[in-house]
Amino acid sequence: MGKKAVVLLSGGADSATALACAKRDGFEPYALTIDYGQRHRAELAMAQKQAARFGAKRLLLNADLRPIGGSALTADIDVPSGRSAGEMADGIPVTYVPARNTIFLSLALGWAESLGAGDIYIGVNALDYSGYPDCRPEYIEAFEAMARLATKMGVEGKTAIKIHTPLIGLTKAEIFRLGHSLGVDFSLTHSCYSPAPDGKACGRCDSCLIRLKGFKEAGIDDPLDYAVRK
Amino acid sequence: MGKKAVVLLSGGADSATALACAKRDGFEPYALTIDYGQRHRAELAMAQKQAARFGAKRLLLNADLRPIGGSALTADIDVPSGRSAGEMADGIPVTYVPARNTIFLSLALGWAESLGAGDIYIGVNALDYSGYPDCRPEYIEAFEAMARLATKMGVEGKTAIKIHTPLIGLTKAEIFRLGHSLGVDFSLTHSCYSPAPDGKACGRCDSCLIRLKGFKEAGIDDPLDYAVRK
């Protein structure tokens, strides 16, 4: 059995691929899923399936971010639909959740320290990243530096603290190819911000559009059902 | 009305003083209290009273850290009792909660960003600090640097992000004198890690012992009832 690593597992395609990377790298994965009151709650069930598939221990933490507001993913703000690549590239979208990755990485850091693990995986990517500031390499490096000063394990120096971002330099197409090669079952992932009442992905939100484009470029069939698929 | 600032308010004596400092500095305070499953839950009610006293808007967030474990404050580990100052100075105690201040500051950062506020107050202090790594100035500076890269407000550069630590260089006695001068009612604060069934502070845990020593050195009477008070 390898060293333990905490993997942030949302139930989306990226974090499922990050989990597969942790396995590939020889770690014993501990999958952390956060129920933050996201409107796309279907991803929580997918996280459970991905964790089971890769033999990861699993923890679901509740940290309800809805009272904080400020995002279309947790508050009563419309999720954008049918935007072009140019529109998506223009600034930080309303689906940005204030400090979300910082909150998630902090919770992962707490669990990691309790497990005696210094390794954390997060499936952020900086290329096709929807413009979120907390998906960039310079942010991850700053978090890592902070984490070394924040924790008992960091101060004592016996456990190296490393935030692994295996997808950070990849395009969506490259992520899907990588996940595919590592055995990710993309039918058990959820990406849509605004699913239809029957659970189908909308096919129109930024996340669906980025996913569909990525699968197309990768030359892999996206196994999900979409309400609309051009 | 001044600029908004988010103040982390636990219900303890330090955070009540930090709230008073935010008022003194001209901010409109937004008090954030985290219910993390702490065994000393009595502090939550005190936080409410302190927020009301200083006219702060208040948000209680639930982020249950008990499943993470690793601390005498959230798991089934005994809280140390009757330790000398020398024993307390020897390493990081079992009451350390893995990554707690990082998790709290991250939640504060999320709320601050949603409010359009760049200022956050936290009542950490590095002198009589029980040996927690996440109470030191170098940690706070690293968090601040990370926060500037993590957030929309940080990246856009219109909102300056500042973590205020008005108590960081003070002794406990100096904190109590400062709080006293700013109108903190210390009868409405809770510090004990291990309260008696009747709600009285134990008088024996590190937190009680540090508090009692601080009040004594400050020459101020601690208005709390203690089960044991030497």
Domain chopping of chain A, boundaries: 4-218
Q: How many beta-carbon pairs below 8 A join chains A and B?
A: 159
Given CB atoms, is B225 within the 8 Å cutoff of chain A? no
CB B221 within 8 A of CB B71: no
To the nearest whole Å, the CA of B220 is away from the closest chain A CA by 33
pLDDT on residue B157: 87
> Model confidence at B110, in pLDDT bands (50, 70, 90)?
very high
Give the lowest-confidence range in A14-23, B62-71, B73-82, B205-214.
Answer: B73-82
Cβ pair B147:A102 closer than 8 A: yes
Average pLDDT over residues A187-203: 89
- Note the ipTM here: 0.91
For the stretch A110-163, pLDDT in tens is 999 999 999 999 999 887 555 788 989 999 999 999 999 999 899 888 899 999
> Model confidence at B41, in pLDDT bands (50, 70, 90)?
confident
For residues A53 and A87, the model is more confident at A53
Pairing of strands B119-121, B4-8: parallel
CB B136 within 8 A of CB B167: no
Which residues in chain A have their CB less than 8 angstroms from residue B142's CB?
142, 145-146, 149-150
For the stretch B44-65, pLDDT in tens is 999 999 999 999 999 999 999 9
R_g of chain B, CA atoms, integer Å: 17
Residue whose entry in the numeric block shows the structure tokens 């845990």? B205
Which residues in chain A have their CB less than 8 angstroms from residue B103's CB?
103, 106-107, 110
Residues A157, A6: Cα–Cα separation, whole Å: 19
Give the lowest-confidence range in B116-130, B179-193, B203-217.
Answer: B116-130
CB B99 within 8 A of CB A109: yes
pLDDT at A195 over 80: yes
Given CB atoms, is A62 within the 8 Å cutoff of chain B? yes
pLDDT at A167 over 80: yes
Architecture of domain A4-218 in this structure: 3-Layer(aba) Sandwich (3.40)
> Model confidence at B13, in pLDDT bands (50, 70, 90)?
very high
pLDDT on residue B132: 83
Given CB atoms, is B34 within the 8 Å cutoff of chain A? no
Cβ pair B151:A98 closer than 8 A: yes
pLDDT on residue A130: 58
Query: Which of B149, B159, B161, B163 should we substitute to test contact with A (largest number of A Cβ atoms within 10 Å)?
Result: B149
Chain center to CA of B228: 24
Among candidate residues A190, A196, A205, the one with its CA nearest the CA of residue A227: A196
Which residues in chain A have their CB less than 8 angstroms from residue B64's CB?
61-63
To the nearest whole Å, the CA of A21 is away from the closest chain B CA by 24
> Model confidence at A211, in pLDDT bands (50, 70, 90)?
very high
For the stretch B157-183, pLDDT in tens is 889 999 999 999 999 999 999 999 999
Distances (CA, A) of B42 to B52, B77, B193, B198, B208: 16, 19, 10, 11, 14
Closest residue on chain A to B98 (Cα): A110
Out of A111, A133, A147, the one facing B154 most closely (by C-beta) is: A133
Alpha helices by DSSP H, listed for A116-205, are 137-150, 152-156, 172-181
* Percent of chain A clearing pLDDT 70 (strictly above): 98
